[in-house]
């Protein structure tokens, strides 16, 4: 199979409500299984992903991961790619490391990678590994928006102070967050998403709608034993 072009890949993933998040040509230190010549990340930002998922979801365990794998495997096979996922493990693949090779994203004060346009409202869902070397667009450069954010509201908005300022790596009190979400006081975060994440001024046009936010918060509760 001849190498596909980046634009052909964009068209293929767009049909599934997904977007390409850039790519790179891995080196040994990038720890990409199988030593491919090209690795391209697939993810989401904006409403298309949620619309596609809700149309096609099934009643199954971890429905978003299952939908992602089913969808990506379908187009990966047609493109001659091997698919990898951030949710398979342990050990988990270093998607955040890979992402920083692909786009001008940076660790935010609460740990998640911040994008100069999408803010904190984006995700990496899969990686496509190719044996062929594919021509890739420039990564682009942009400073972290957090560097010029004096107030850093993400660090002082959490109702239970789950994030500890000035710690490296970021200190996140998961049990405190999970306990709060399971309480009556946690309904706002449960219904609309993490208050610290919502406080970020970057990418406001990409904030998840309530149904999507609730889906992710329910999944968080279930993963930490707080589901009803």
When pLDDT is cut at 50, 70 and 90, the band that residue 112 belongs to is: very high
Mean pLDDT of 37-65: 96
| pLDDT for 60 | 92
Q: Please tell me the distance from the alpha carbon of residue 34 to that of residue 50, in angstroms, as a whole number.
A: 31
* Cα torsion angle, 170, 110, 178, 55, sign: negative
pTM (2 d.p.): 0.93
Q: Please tell me the distance from the alpha carbon of residue 18 to that of residue 27, in angstroms, as a whole number.
A: 26
Query: How far does CA 57 lie from the centroid of its chain?
Result: 19
Under the phi-then-psi rule, with left for phi > 0, alpha for psi from -120 to 50, and beta for the rest, what region is 76? alpha
When pLDDT is cut at 50, 70 and 90, the band that residue 66 belongs to is: very high
pLDDT tens for residues 179-208?
999 999 999 999 999 999 999 999 999 999
Q: Please tell me the distance from the alpha carbon of residue 126 to that of residue 90, in angstroms, as a whole number.
A: 16
| pLDDT for 164 | 83
Q: Which two tokens stand for residue 184?
A: 């009556």
pLDDT tens for residues 119-167?
999 999 999 999 999 999 999 999 999 999 999 999 999 999 999 876 6
Q: Is the peptide bond before 90 cis (omega within 30 degrees of 0)?
A: yes
| pLDDT for 215 | 96
Q: What is the mean pLDDT of the chain?
A: 93
When pLDDT is cut at 50, 70 and 90, the band that residue 225 belongs to is: confident
| pLDDT for 227 | 65
| pLDDT for 141 | 93
First to last CA, the chain: 49
Burial of residue 213 (number of CB atoms within 10 Å: 0-12, 13-18, 19+) = buried
What percent of the chain has pLDDT above 70? 96
Q: Which of 2-6, 78-82, 156-160 has the lowest mean pLDDT?
A: 2-6
Specify which residues 129 forms β-bridges with.
39, 82
Burial 57-85 (b: 16+ CB within 10 A, else e): eeeeeebbbebbbebbeebbeebebbbbb
| pLDDT for 167 | 65
Q: Which two tokens stand for residue 72?
A: 């990506």
When pLDDT is cut at 50, 70 and 90, the band that residue 41 belongs to is: very high
């Amino acid at each position: 199979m001849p190498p596909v072009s980046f634009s052909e890949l964009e068209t293929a993933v767009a049909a599934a409500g997904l977007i390409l998040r850039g790519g790179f040509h891995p080196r040994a230190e990038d720890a990409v299984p199988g030593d491919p010549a090209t690795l391209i990340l697939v993810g989401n930002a904006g409403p298309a992903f949620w619309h596609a998922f809700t149309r096609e979801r099934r009643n199954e365990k971890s429905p978003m991961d299952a939908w992602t794998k089913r969808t990506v495997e379908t187009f990966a096979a047609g493109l001659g790619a091997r698919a990898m996922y951030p949710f398979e493990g342990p050990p988990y693949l270093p998607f955040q490391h890979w992402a920083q090779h692909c786009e001008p994203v940076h660790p935010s004060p609460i740990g998640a990678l911040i994008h100069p346009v999408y803010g904190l409202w984006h995700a990496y869902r899969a990686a496509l590994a190719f044996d062929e070397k594919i021509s890739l667009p420039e990564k682009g450069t942009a400073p972290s928006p957090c560097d010029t954010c004096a107030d850093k509201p993400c660090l002082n908005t959490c109702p239970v102070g789950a994030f500890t300022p000035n710690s490296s790596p970021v200190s996140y009190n998961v049990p405190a967050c999970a306990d709060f979400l399971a309480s009556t006081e946690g309904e706002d975060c449960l219904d609309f998403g993490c208050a610290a994440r919502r406080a970020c001024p970057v990418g406001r046009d990409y904030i998840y709608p309530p149904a999507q936010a609730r889906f992710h918060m329910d999944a968080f509760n279930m993963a930490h034993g707080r589901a009803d």
